[in-house]
A and B are shown apart, each in its own frame.
Chain A
Amino acid sequence: MESTPLLSVNNLCVEFSTPDGIVHAVNDVSFSIEAGKTLGIVGESGSGKSVTASSILKLNSGVTASTSGSILFKGDNILGADDKKIRQLRGSEIAMIFQDPLSALNPYYTVGHQIIEAYKVHHRGVKKPEARKVALEMLRRVGIPNPEARIDEFPHQFSGGMRQRIVIATALINSPKLLIADEPTTALDVTVQAQILDLMKDIQKENGMAIILITHDLGVVAETCDDVAVMYGGRIVEKTSVNELFTTPTHPYSFGLLGAVRSLDKSARGSLRTIAGAPPSLLHLPSGCSFMPRCVFANDGHSKCSSIVPELELVPSTHSLSACHLRKDALQKLTTKDLL
């Protein structure tokens, strides 16, 4: 039962020209997502995950960015669409929420004004009282207590968690088909994070929207996503289901990342597992595999690693796609036991 995906991104490349040279932020990234599913994009800072997401809404077109590839939303290529078309999509079909709920809201306007504005942009001719009713209903749905009173308050009168609820209300007011959430809970406390993740899951269950969740927290991925794309150095290095990522990681980077997180969760004291070194500069990506300089498996005699960029390939006996030359050797050495 193959259904056409809601969104498919094909061979996306994004480059920024800066005074220091060209930053290769996203390199040949492809993925797709179906309605009702949640795709997690994980990676460290500078891995290109946020740039990938913002290209979907053409938020980084500007003068300095050059984008190639294609992004198909319901079959239409939106990468080549003009500004008018994109404006129709933004907020109505595809909505986005950002990491910092304080800077996502305008401090000069009441939260009600901002939610109603988002509604009226896509519902021309709707009278204000009617729009206000919709906004109140939305605020109730995202769990703001006493919405009749709070709709006329300003962002600074809300706590961080409540602000993120308001940002979510603004994003969902037009019932989008796709929600892009860029680190929606990173700025929040763990207890509030649990509330917000639950809220997003509940709303998804009700209206069947697709979610692209960008995060660096593998714990958040485990709790919310169906599929995961692991990004490193502007490329997807592993694409798999959540269960397979946590039981049988097929890329040395995923393996290292999981090891670092798990040893923090499990071991009491003693040395933590780390990934030695630091992520590569996107100005000067290594010529071969970008993870090679930090890879524990690539140290000897694998000239391919340093010269040829590995392609995503299906790993035998799994459903995972992995971009690694050493996969067979690496896989033999990796077992879940090593992760602990």
Chain B
Amino acid sequence: MSSEVLLEGKNLVKHFPHGTKGLMSKPDGLVQAVDGVNIVLRKGQTLGIVGESGCGKSTLARVLARLIEPTSGSIFLEGQDITHVGGKDLQLLRRDIQMIFQDPFSSLNPRHSVGEIIASPLRIQKIVPKGGEKPRVQELMDLVGLNPEHYNRYPHEFSGGQRQRIGIARALALNPKVIVADEPVSALDVSIQAQILNLLEQLQHDLGLSYVFIAHDLSVVRHIADEVAVMYLGKIVELAQPTGLYSSPAHPYSKALLSAVPLAEPRSTHMRGRIVLEGDVPSPINPPIGCRFAARCWKAQDICRAQEPPLGPAKSLLKSEDSLVACHFPENSN
């Protein structure tokens, strides 16, 4: 299980200034999008990150891919500190970390042909593949299940699922070590989602890729991830292997999130207790002191509102030892 560490984030923090009134004025507050996250991606594995909108999962993905620079904390790729690299070094880093985006319609330039889109990482990096650019692009198209003859077509001629394949081929062009996928199947129909997930798994198997996989759909993450981080308001509240997380979630928020997913089963066969959370996710501008989930938690006591629970080992016997939870009163713990 413990293969070598590929990408590691230590104490990552990303705050955005909020409410600046003029160019020179000081901001009113800080949006604490990511607030002290430790995360490890191992070689050849998939790290899933789930949570509701506004929990900071996309910001975390962008920080890990170094599309934005963290406010504090550090990121290591194969032991090398990449937290503040810039200029040429940052451009070289892009060869190792690539991204797949959520919306296959807005993430492809409508004026570029598919061939140009997939070749653009090669052109930017001034790499001339052996045998030329076109054969390499066509090889990539073949790899992701597109017809290489469609090299000169434009994005509007493709369906949503095919466009997402174009985005995947583009991410693969530089032979990256890590692919950060931000909700890559959320915009697709169910039958097409399964096709793309199968493709991503096949590519991981064939090319030895490692994924950071962001999603709000728990069943998608369960299927593809080796480890799942549940985020709430900029913090990781639970980190576990999917089998343990889905059968016995330790954090009350994970439990509520799982119970909210509607199952495609006739009502008579599942009489499970659904936990409907009250209210919304609090604002990340002034997050509550103490546990950030306390205001919506049914188990919250005084200590929860006063003291923030650290992310520590879950005590449950059902779990493997490397699962972590941040809760004063975790589930299944007596």
Q: Is the interface of A mostly helix, strand, loop or mixed?
A: helix
Which A residues are CB-close (under 8 A) to B218? Answer: 190
Q: Does B220 contact A (CB under 8 A)?
A: yes
Q: Does B274 contact A (CB under 8 A)?
A: yes
Q: Does B128 contact A (CB under 8 A)?
A: no
- Interface segment among A79-87, A91-99, A267-275: the answer is A267-275
B265 touches A222 (CB 8 A): yes
Q: Does B242 contact A (CB under 8 A)?
A: yes
- Interface segment among A129-137, A258-266, A301-309: the answer is A258-266
Which B residues are CB-close (under 8 A) to A275? Answer: 191, 194
A268 touches B222 (CB 8 A): yes
Complex Cα–Cα for A45 and B191 (A): 11
Report B187-223 residues with CB < 8 Å from chain A CB.
189-195, 197-198, 201, 216-220, 222-223
- Checking A195, A219, A273 against B194 with a beta-carbon cut-off of 8 angstroms, the contacting residue is A273
Complex Cα–Cα for A268 and B266 (A): 22
- Checking B192, B219, B222, B266 against A278 with a beta-carbon cut-off of 8 angstroms, the contacting residue is B192
Smallest beta-carbon distance A216→chain B, Å = 6
Which of the listed residues B256, B263, B265, B274 has the most CB atoms from chain A within 10 Å of its own CB? B265
Q: Does A223 contact B (CB under 8 A)?
A: yes
Q: Does B159 contact A (CB under 8 A)?
A: yes
Smallest beta-carbon distance A219→chain B, Å = 3
* A residues in contact (CB < 8 Å) with B: 44-45, 145, 159-162, 189-195, 197-198, 216-223, 242-243, 246-247, 256-258, 260-265, 267-269, 271-276, 278-279
Complex Cα–Cα for A79 and B192 (A): 35
B198 touches A222 (CB 8 A): no
Given contacts A260-B194, A268-B222, contact A194 B265 (CB under 8 A): no
Complex Cα–Cα for A257 and B192 (A): 10
Q: Is the interface of B mostly helix, strand, loop or mixed?
A: helix
Q: Which 6 pairs across A and B sit closest by C-beta, in order of nearness?
A: A219-B262, A218-B264, A275-B191, A274-B194, A272-B194, A189-B52
B260 touches A191 (CB 8 A): yes
Complex Cα–Cα for A161 and B280 (A): 8
B256 touches A191 (CB 8 A): yes
B267 touches A223 (CB 8 A): yes
Interface string of B246-261 (1 = CB under 8 A from A): 0000000000110011
Q: Can you list 9 pairs linking A and B with CB atoms under 8 Å apart?
A: A191-B277, A219-B263, A220-B262, A222-B263, A222-B266, A260-B191, A264-B197, A272-B198, A276-B195
Report B221-254 residues with CB < 8 Å from chain A CB.
222-224, 242-243
Which A residues are CB-close (under 8 A) to B224? Answer: 269
B160 touches A45 (CB 8 A): yes
A278 touches B52 (CB 8 A): no
Complex Cα–Cα for A8 and B165 (A): 42
Complex Cα–Cα for A32 and B194 (A): 33
Q: Does B121 contact A (CB under 8 A)?
A: no
- Checking A160, A189, A217 against B216 with a beta-carbon cut-off of 8 angstroms, the contacting residue is A189
Smallest beta-carbon distance A195→chain B, Å = 6
4 more A-B contacts (CB under 8 A) besides A222-B266, A279-B189? A159-B280, A194-B274, A242-B266, A274-B191
A261 touches B277 (CB 8 A): no
Q: Does B53 contact A (CB under 8 A)?
A: yes
